[in-house]
């Protein structure tokens, strides 16, 4: 069955845009959820850790499924899970429903993220890093637009109602996916389990996964805790605090646009070093800066730094494991999301015991540990 590469790529961009909208939901309204249900910081941390847990589950199963059965059915199912999760988050009237909804968003969104990245890697031989960077722009746009929409509509609707409306709009994405022809499954004769299990022991894949452990954890900490940190730590009102996430995601998105050019002109490892340098600068300014303007500068630097890590690493994985790219991406995302889950939960414990003001210190520790792993990884990819 023939397919149009441009149409498939554009559809993958819409799918990752949907993931961007859904994954930022919790961080955007976490303070409102804690107030609505009267829970403490420890419960909020537990709720935040459910999102990466769900993403991990979705990422774990989507790769082998896509390699064996193709992408269309997987995308339609996962968009449905995201839609149900967003509606539950918006209108759920019990803590259990909220927890289940966050898991559905994570599971559906995690599969959309991993599978859309694997799909683009499959159809972009020779230019995977650049294409994955362009794809990542749409994640940034999705994550950027949600806090902006909530801020704009705050005079007319509460945040929960906006989330519900956007969740209903996911139905349009499902209709689009149904109309598109995707590449056929790569392992139609049966899934090579032995080769997949051997990949788990591959030192390059494991090292890249451990870098992603801290990268994903850092992204999760910034997305889920910045809003609360700015409100409670700096006593900034909620609407103004949303500017932090907006600036962060805007910088990430603009850098992803720039990466499409930079990765064609410079070596992947050179761009990677630049991005890591931006992250280091961002976390230290966030830690030491005592005024709101400096926090915004720090969040912008962090967004720009975050932008390059995943596309570059996924491009390397797609090049090395092309025959089982979906499975390789699943392994990377699972390791990454274990980091996201553990660090979010750890932040919840720190906040409960010592206050949310400890967020910058945890960011500094994570970025330094990540730097050590990046240095060690040079012998594998130059």
Please say whether the beta carbons of 295 and 357 come within 8 A. Answer: no
Residue 171 pLDDT grade (very low, low, confident, very high; cuts 50, 70, 90): very high
The per-residue pLDDT of the chain, averaged, comes to 84
The reported pLDDT for the residue numbered 192 is 52
The reported pLDDT for the residue numbered 155 is 80
Q: Alpha carbon of 105 to those of 80, 236, 334: distances in Å?
A: 9, 29, 16
Q: Is the dihedral of CA 81, 318, 144, 244 positive or negative?
A: positive
| Percent of the chain with pLDDT strictly greater than 70 | 92
* Arithmetic mean of pLDDT, 315-323: 71
Q: By mean pLDDT, which of 48-57, 81-90, 200-209, 337-346 is the weakest?
A: 200-209
- In this prediction the pTM is 0.72
* Arithmetic mean of pLDDT, 299-327: 80
* Arithmetic mean of pLDDT, 191-196: 55
* Arithmetic mean of pLDDT, 115-120: 87
CA dihedral (342, 111, 60, 272) in degrees, to 10, reads -60
The reported pLDDT for the residue numbered 356 is 82
Residue in the block written with tokens 């089982």: 324
Closest CA to 19 of 217, 166, 152: 166
User: Highest mean pLDDT: which of 30-34, 99-103, 158-162, 205-209?
Assistant: 99-103
Whether 78 has a pLDDT exceeding 90, the answer reads: yes
Whether 190 has a pLDDT exceeding 60, the answer reads: no
Q: Which two tokens stand for residue 106?
A: 């994570």
Whether 193 has a pLDDT exceeding 70, the answer reads: no
Domains and their CATH numbers in the chain: 5-182+190-381 (1.20.1250.20)
Half-sphere exposure of 319 (CA within 13 A, CB side): 16
The reported pLDDT for the residue numbered 1 is 60
Whether 12 has a pLDDT exceeding 90, the answer reads: yes
Higher pLDDT, 45 or 293: 293
Please say whether the beta carbons of 120 and 5 come within 8 A. Answer: no
Q: By mean pLDDT, which of 64-68, 76-80, 110-114 is the weakest?
A: 64-68
pLDDT digits (tens, 9 = 90+) for 205-261: 788 888 889 998 998 888 878 878 888 767 777 677 778 888 888 898 888 888 878
Helix (H) or strand (E) holding 157: none
* Arithmetic mean of pLDDT, 325-332: 74
Rg of the chain over all Cα atoms, to the nearest angstrom: 19
Whether 273 has a pLDDT exceeding 80, the answer reads: yes
User: Residue 66 contacts by C-beta under 8 Å, 6 or more apart in sequence?
Assistant: 74, 115, 118, 119, 185, 326
The reported pLDDT for the residue numbered 327 is 73
């Amino acid at each position: 069955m023939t397919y149009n590469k441009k149409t498939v790529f554009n559809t993958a961009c819409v799918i990752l845009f949907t993931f961007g909208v859904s994954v930022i939901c919790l961080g955007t309204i976490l303070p409102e959820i804690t107030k609505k249900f009267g829970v403490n910081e420890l419960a909020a941390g537990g709720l935040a850790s459910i999102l990466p847990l769900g993403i991990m589950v979705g990422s774990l199963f989507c790769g082998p499924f896509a390699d064996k059965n193709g992408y269309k059915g997987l995308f339609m199912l996962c968009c449905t899970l995201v839609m149900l999760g967003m509606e539950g988050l918006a209108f759920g009237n019990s803590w259990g429903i909220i927890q289940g909804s966050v898991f559905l968003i994570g599971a559906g969104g995690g599969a959309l993220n991993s599978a859309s990245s694997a799909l683009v890697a499959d159809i972009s031989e020779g230019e995977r890093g650049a294409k994955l960077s362009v794809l990542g722009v749409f994640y940034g746009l999705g994550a950027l637009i949600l806090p902006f929409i909530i801020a704009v509509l705050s005079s007319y609707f509460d945040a929960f109602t906006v989330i519900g409306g956007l969740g209903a709009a996911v139905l349009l994405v499902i209709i689009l996916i149904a109309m598109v022809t995707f590449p056929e499954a790569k392992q139609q004769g049966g899934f090579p389990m032995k080769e997949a299990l051997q990949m788990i022991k591959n030192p390059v894949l494991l090292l890249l996964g451990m870098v992603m452990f801290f990268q994903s954890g850092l992204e999760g900490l910034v997305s889920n805790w910045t809003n609360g940190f700015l409100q409670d730590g700096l006593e900034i009102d909620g609407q103004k605090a949303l500017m932090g996430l907006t600036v962060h995601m805007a910088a990430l998105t603009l850098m992803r646009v720039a990466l499409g050019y930079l990765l064609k002109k410079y070596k992947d490892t050179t761009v990677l070093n630049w991005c890591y340098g931006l992250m280091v600068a961002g976390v230290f300014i966030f830690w030491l800066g005592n005024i709101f303007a400096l926090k915004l500068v720090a969040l912008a630097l962090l967004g720009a730094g975050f932008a390059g890590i995943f596309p570059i690493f996924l491009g390397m994985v797609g090049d090395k494991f092309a025959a089982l790219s979906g499975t390789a991406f699943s392994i990377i995302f699972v390791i990454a999301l274990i980091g996201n889950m553990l660090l979010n939960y750890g932040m919840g414990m720190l906040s409960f015991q010592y206050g949310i003001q400890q967020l910058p210190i945890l960011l500094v520790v994570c970025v330094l540990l990540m730097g050590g792993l990046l240095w060690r990884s040079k012998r594998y990819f130059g």
